Structure 1
């Protein structure tokens, strides 16, 4: 801890990844990367069963490799450049759709589905609103200025009263027509 950085601003080591992950479309990028791998690999991969080699190589192997590498790149872009998340999401969806005819039904449908969901998540993701930090003195002043007072009704039931500057039409309507501020 240094004298220049207040203790409340220091982030514990175990929370750094969590904070990093929450400030960007992490899961969208991960699904996009996982979707790009089978799309790029399957046209070039083979499986050996004893002396028999099963290969799914096609003439469009170069196109599948390009689509797979672009999907992996878009997944990394979602992580490291979250500002372009909408563009990356739309481009991911388009590439996932193009992979159906080009890359063995989109990497045997697995890569297609993972990329499609990842692109949709990226396009829909929005950053959380920033949290305003207040000092304890500011919080106490705000709390005292807007403090609610407790009034006992004729039935002996405590009733919360809100200061007059907080009363709105919604407050009046929510209290059954009563003005809780005055």
Structure 2
């Protein structure tokens, strides 16, 4: 057979990186997202972020729902904002994960007194579980 119409190199083994260059933009974006997510305590940060936002939303709840426990002024807003910042810092600066996770855990426990019983307990639990996950996370160099 003369090979007319057959692309050059078809049927020959391709180098390892050749398949990555031919992947669609969506596949490349998904692979980049997965690599970024695996290189940091993503799930711990996500739970801390959800807990901090939930605590912050209960501080802004209507007065009929809010339990006025503790200092509702400045500290009631600062604690959930610090929790949200710790979650973002866990994602974007994972080298300091131990410090950020401990700060999130301490602020989560402090939210019991300052922010409506820790966001009616739900935000407190999300923050504590996320902080524990982030604290225990270890980067696997082989992946």
TM-score by length of structure 1 reads 0.60
Residues 51 and 126, structure 2, Cα contact 8 Å, conserved in 1: yes
Structure exhibiting the larger radius of gyration computed from Cα positions: 1
More helix per residue: 1 or 2?
2
Structure 2 CA distance for aligned equivalents of residues 13 and 103 of structure 1? 39
The number of aligned residues is 120
Question: Could you tell me which residue of structure 2 aligns to residue 15 of structure 1?
Answer: 31
Q: Deviations over 1:135-159 (max 9, x none)?
A: xxxxxxxxxxxxxxxxxxxxxxxxx
Q: Deviations over 1:117-142 (max 9, x none)?
A: 111111100000246xxxxxxxxxxx
Q: Deviations over 1:80-116 (max 9, x none)?
A: 0000101011111111111111111100001100000
**Correspondence 1:106-117 to 2 at 5 A:** 106-117=118-129
In structure 1, runs of 5+ residues without a counterpart are 1-5, 47-52, 132-182
More strand per residue: 1 or 2?
1
In structure 2, runs of 5+ residues without a counterpart are 1-16, 22-26
Q: State whether structure 2 residue 49 is matched by structure 1 residue 37.
A: no
CA RMSD of aligned residues (A): 2.0
